[in-house]
Amino acid sequence: MIFLKFDRRIFQHFDWTLLALVLAICAIGILNIYSAGFSASESHFPFYVKQIQWILLGLFFMIVVFLIDYRVICQAAYLIYGISVVLLIIVFFYGYTTHGSQRWISTGFFAFQPSELMKLALIIVLAHYFDKHNSDEPYKLRELFIPFVIVLIPCLLILKQPDLGTALIIMLLFASIIFFMGINWKSFAIALGSGLVLMPLGWYFLKDYQKERLLSFLNPEHDPLGTGYHVIQSMIAIGSGGVFGKGFLNGSQTQLKFLPEQQTDFIFSVFAEEWGFIGALVLAIMFMSLILWGLKIALHSRDLLGTILAFGITALISWEVFINVGMVLGALPVVGIPLPFLSYGGSAMICLMTAIGLLMNISVRSFILKS
């Protein structure tokens, strides 16, 4: 019963750096959401207050996950995965629809997005699988079939919602972990080749708006109206921030509500408009530090399980940060991925905080287990 044995060393070796980094980014997020909702007087319960609640709730989960040894948690990997799949199936049948896609389970008190939980569940189940099926050789295609199915099921359910962004993140996460575990080059070539062949087929499964988004990225002239408009407004907002920014609560694009989804997917534009290049640079460095710190934990973990887990979590955060920022900068297509710890949203925040709890868990136990 490892998880019941409270060890003082847990606190001695506590990863304060990680906590400080995450909390600092969250604090920036709160300020930002406050600003984004500043001129909107409609809500008596503003977004930033809710975001603080999500963060506190997230901290709670973080501590819970932190206290239980990650090896114990990973023993329940298939259970966690199974629950997540069931929740996605519930969404499929009874989900709550907003903006044309069915992503939410409404419990009456709050709405929950199982696809966020699925990201974490997949990291855990893949880490568990590769830990159990460890091999010295690079993996061959045949050996990757089961993990592929494990990823494919939720991926299809999420595509069906439709939530192209999350499905993409899941595929990237899978690819990252496989790359990290090592894949036979021939297998890699075959996988890539068949992927390219299947792509036109996948085109038929995309919703019209998703096709338009892809087309509008590949050829901006194609749709300057739908998502193109968002990106133009986002780029104007970011650019107009200049070197030093317009100052807190002074972003005109933000305050005039020219930005689409400015609490969620486009939150970085709000920040860059008000804090300028200097501010954005600081934020970018903070994210980069967080990512590198995550990789350090992966490297220092005492066992393979911890390494894969930590790597998976770090990969998830990295992809989300890069894709989101690339998107609002007009360098990537608009796929609707939130910026970790900054975008408004309960499900994502809670799941990310839980993931950070796991990271701390691995970080601390690398010290404890060694001696």
Contact residues for another protein, defined by CB under 8 A: 97, 99-100, 134, 136, 179-180, 182, 221, 223-225, 228-229, 232-233, 235-243, 252-253, 256-258, 272, 276-277, 280-281, 284, 288, 291-292, 295-296, 298-304, 307, 318, 322, 325-326, 329-331, 366-367, 370
Min separation Cβ 164 and another protein, Å: 16
Spatial contact of 354 and 292, defined as CB atoms under 8 Å apart: no
Min separation Cβ 283 and another protein, Å: 10
d(C-alpha 272, C-alpha 278), whole Å: 9
Min separation Cβ 359 and another protein, Å: 16
The amino acid sitting at 288 is M
Complex with another protein: residue 325 or 351, whichever CB lies closer: 325
Complex with another protein: residue 136 or 149, whichever CB lies closer: 136
Min separation Cβ 253 and another protein, Å: 5
Complex with another protein: residue 20 or 152, whichever CB lies closer: 20
Q: Phi and psi (nearest 5°) for 369? A: -70, -25
Complex with another protein: residue 64 or 281, whichever CB lies closer: 281
Spatial contact of 273 and 253, defined as CB atoms under 8 Å apart: yes
| Region class of 257: left (phi > 0), else alpha (psi between -120 and 50), else beta | left
Tell me the angle at which helices 145-159 and 114-132 cross, rounded to the nearest 10 degrees. 180
Q: Phi and psi (nearest 5°) for 154? A: -65, -35
Min separation Cβ 207 and another protein, Å: 11
Min separation Cβ 86 and another protein, Å: 27
Min separation Cβ 197 and another protein, Å: 26
How many H-runs (helices) and E-runs (strands) does the chain carry? 15, 3
Kind and range of the H or E run holding 9: helix 9-12
Complex with another protein: residue 142 or 370, whichever CB lies closer: 370
Query: What is the chain's percent helix, strand, coil content, to nearest 5?
Result: 70, 5, 25
d(C-alpha 279, C-alpha 282), whole Å: 5
Complex with another protein: residue 287 or 341, whichever CB lies closer: 287
Looking at residue 338, what DSSP letter applies? P
The Cα diameter of the chain in Å comes to 62
Complex with another protein: residue 71 or 119, whichever CB lies closer: 71
Residues 6+ apart with CB under 8 A from 126: 147, 150, 151, 174, 177, 308, 312
Min separation Cβ 358 and another protein, Å: 18
Give bridge partners of residue 101 from the DSSP assignment: 98
| Region class of 343: left (phi > 0), else alpha (psi between -120 and 50), else beta | beta
Give bridge partners of residue 230 from the DSSP assignment: none
Complex with another protein: residue 61 or 139, whichever CB lies closer: 139
What is the side-by-side strand order in the sheet with 101-106?
96-98, 101-106, 111-112
d(C-alpha 96, C-alpha 94), whole Å: 7
Min separation Cβ 54 and another protein, Å: 26
Complex with another protein: residue 91 or 323, whichever CB lies closer: 323
